Amino acid sequence: MPLPKTVKLNPDKRVLFLTKDLELIKKQLYEGLNLRMADLRVEDLLDDINTDTMTPAWVCFDYDPAKLARNAYAGLFDAGGDRVFKEDALINGNFEVIVSGQRKGTGSSRETAPQAEKWAGIRIVIAASFAPIHERNNVNLGQIMGNHEQLKRLQAGEEIALSQFTGQFDPVTRIMLEAGGLFPFSKELADGKLDLPKLTNTKRPMTMAEKLIASHLVEGQGEPYVKPGDPVMVKVDAGYSHEFTTAQVHYFLENEYGRDYQVQNPEKFAVFEDHLLYAKGVTRFKPFADKIGTLVEMQNAFQKHTGVRDYSAVGGISPGICHQVAREHFIDVGDFVQATDSHTCMGGASNALAYGVGATEYAGLIYSGSTFVQVPESIRFSLVGELQPGVTAKDVMLHILDTYAKREDTLNRVMEFGGPGLASISMDERATLTNMATECSAKTGICEADDVLWDWLKAQRKLSDADLKRMKARAVAPDKGAHYDGGVHEINLSQIKPMVAEPGDPTYGKLIDELGDVKIDIAYAGSCTAGKYDDFDYYAQVCREAVEAGLKVHEGVKMYIQYGSEGVKKYAEAKGYPELFARAGVEVINPGCGACIGCGPGVSESKEQVTVSAINRNFPGRSGPGKLYLASPLTVAASAFTGKISAYKEGMFAKLAAAT
């Protein structure tokens, strides 16, 4: 249904301000307090509201948006540990506008976050800025997004033209939003009722992302040269969903296109059972066992109906985390990849353009084979030098988060990695660089192609020379003179030092040398970011040195190591790593997402517990109620043996053993 041509507030509805003073939120929810933007400052409003806060993992077990809306903002807790938003609080509050500060919707790509708002009655979302995937999900749902000045005008009784809200977007996004969202837009487009703007760019030097998008343009859009901001339709090569999201995809496709719907190119799309495999073993998720079972059943039905690749668990063991398995098995050089998870950008290590989308957008693209893209800006990181011993790609990303992401230099931009230093970084470590682009609120990350990539592909895929030649022909490299809106930044790898992100947000970076003594209770080593082949070599390196020094995991500390894929598990077994880990006192877990999303061993159980973890994000409550520090695989493993957060240094355990 198209949106009205003008926007005004309904006098019978209310505006909810998400203030930093949580007691003010409660008074609005439960005591009828009404606030006005004219009496508040933007600084009074909550910043960085992440999608885990809006719809925690357990809320997403309801694939029906009307049901999950009952627990909107269930992840926002007060100082006493109580939910600020009780069940049905947002629905019962009779709100039509919700207001926050900077960077609304950071974190995962879960579309359940804006769905919860929409199905609770919200139709206007006000913020100073929006995380890119979250903004797109709002567009796909037909949600109006505005700023605080516009809200002041609305609360003063003004009626504002819809175009003043949609004018911030490119012409196609504007049409899509004004049409009421993605599905109404797609129907009008298919019926020939919409004329999309044609590209008029002359030949120009392009970044890697621009070149890859230009090579995937749907025919009839003009010359194959694009620039940031251009609205285009592009062909999608590959994608995937998992049991957390597939049910909604299936649900939306049946509702929109009927039970006989078909999808495009199923051999390059997949479903994974990786996210919730261990959820039933987590105490707080046991009440949701039936709902989890339903999600898996719906994913199985979707897979059988569509014939996409099937990576379901066999005998209770998953083939692995979707991002890791996808890059091992079917993401090719030069691919344009979309999947229902924010860490889809991990595929960019293979010189592909890959990023996460919501269930609505994924349903539309897997049905049609194409999707809408607004060409993103880019920021380039030119790597020089080599990492010092004890330093990993995770430390590089923690440095980038603490420096560039904190300044919003990376916001909604493609992070392009290249330069002579890239050759010193392995494919698994490159995957860490691109994986954590989403923590930077970037669009995605992409690495240049080189001999490291070709050697990895040949070994990983057993490619013939002819196949490898075809792969090389699809590679993209930046043109000389390409423009980077975010600038070109040189990072001297030799100057990077071991870091952590302190609890609460991945951008809270700190050098370990300046951290002081932080005693730990849990060391978790796993996730898509840190469950790869190289990561297991890191864990084994530390454990071997500790065992040889006569040490085991520190008393009072539990260390968990979880495989990222079946392939990684077989590799580790061939190396004898499980036996080594057992001697060190480490618990090893079969492939899966696990503690990273609070669904498996390694999750904290109390607010007092401290975890050092190799996962990619540490938003409050994501991996249990405790304090969670992000660190590199080497730091996590070393800390397990010292009992406190410690940077790994060769020979450290011999000194420790001698001292004790």
Q: Please state, in angstroms and rounded to a whole number, the distance separating the CA atoms of residues 500 and 632.
A: 8
**What does the block give as tokens for 82?**
């109580």
Q: Please state, in angstroms and rounded to a whole number, the distance separating the CA atoms of residues 302 and 121.
A: 30
Q: Please state, in angstroms and rounded to a whole number, the distance separating the CA atoms of residues 593 and 319.
A: 11
Half-sphere exposure of 129 (CA within 13 A, CB side): 12
Quick: pLDDT tens for 568-614. 999 999 999 999 999 999 999 999 998 988 888 999 999 999 999 99
Q: Please state, in angstroms and rounded to a whole number, the distance separating the CA atoms of residues 132 and 139.
A: 11
β-sheet bridge partners, residue 311:
272
C-alpha pair distances (Å), 506 with each of 48, 380, 630 = 11, 20, 7
Domains 236-372 and 500-659 share a fold: yes
Average pLDDT over residues 461-469: 92
Average pLDDT over residues 81-88: 97
Contact between 564 and 324 (Cβ < 8 Å) = yes
**What does the block give as tokens for 83?**
């939910």
Contact between 617 and 580 (Cβ < 8 Å) = no
Residue carrying the six token digits 């590959």: 238
Q: What is the pLDDT of residue 58?
A: 87
Of 131, 109, 113, nearest to 122 by C-alpha is: 113
With H, G, I as helix, E, B as strand and everything else as coil, classify residue 564: coil
The CATH architecture that domain 6-190 belongs to is Alpha-Beta Barrel (3.20)
Please give the CATH number for the structural domain made up of 236-372: 3.30.499.10
**Which three-class secondary structure string do you get for 211-261?**
HHHHCCECCCCECCCCCCCCEEEEECCEEEEECCCHHHHHHHHHHHHCCCC
With vertex at residue 97, the alpha carbon angle to CA 81 and CA 372, rounded to the nearest 5 degrees, is 100
Quick: pLDDT tens for 151-192. 999 999 999 999 999 999 988 899 999 999 999 998 888 788
CATH number (3.30.70.1900, 3.40.1060.10, 3.40.640.10, 2.60.120.260) of 378-495 reads: 3.40.1060.10
What Rg do the C-alpha atoms of the chain give, in angstroms? Answer: 24
Q: Please state, in angstroms and rounded to a whole number, the distance separating the CA atoms of residues 536 and 571.
A: 9
> Residue 149: CB partners within 8 Å, gap ≥ 6?
none
Q: What is the pLDDT of residue 300?
A: 97
Length of the chain: 660
**Which three-class secondary structure string do you get for 169-188?**
CCHHHHHHHHHCCHHHHHHH
Bridge-based pairing of strands 610-613 and 627-630 is parallel
Half-sphere exposure of 637 (CA within 13 A, CB side): 32
Q: Please state, in angstroms and rounded to a whole number, the distance separating the CA atoms of residues 250 and 626.
A: 35
Quick: pLDDT tens for 2-60. 999 999 999 999 999 999 999 999 999 999 999 999 999 999 999 999 999 999 988 98
Q: Over the chain, what is the mean pLDDT?
A: 95
Quick: pLDDT tens for 193-247. 887 788 889 999 999 999 999 999 998 888 899 999 998 999 999 999 999 999 9
Of 317, 322, 319, 327, nearest to 340 by C-alpha is: 322
Indicate the domain borders of the chain.
6-190, 236-372, 378-495, 500-659
> Distance between terminal CA atoms of the chain?
71
pLDDT at 280 over 80: no
What sign does the dihedral 51-56-60-62 (CA atoms) show?
Answer: negative
Quick: pLDDT tens for 509-518. 999 999 999 9
**What does the block give as tokens for 557?**
């500390």
CB neighbours (10 Å) of residue 409? 18
Contact between 125 and 143 (Cβ < 8 Å) = yes
Quick: pLDDT tens for 344-378. 999 999 999 999 998 999 999 999 999 999 999 99
Q: Please state, in angstroms and rounded to a whole number, the distance separating the CA atoms of residues 568 and 535.
A: 10
Of 204, 206, 135, nearest to 176 by C-alpha is: 135
What is the CATH topology of the domain spanning 500-659? Aconitase; domain 3 (3.30.499)
Half-sphere exposure of 643 (CA within 13 A, CB side): 6
pLDDT at 426 over 80: yes
Confidence (pTM): 0.87
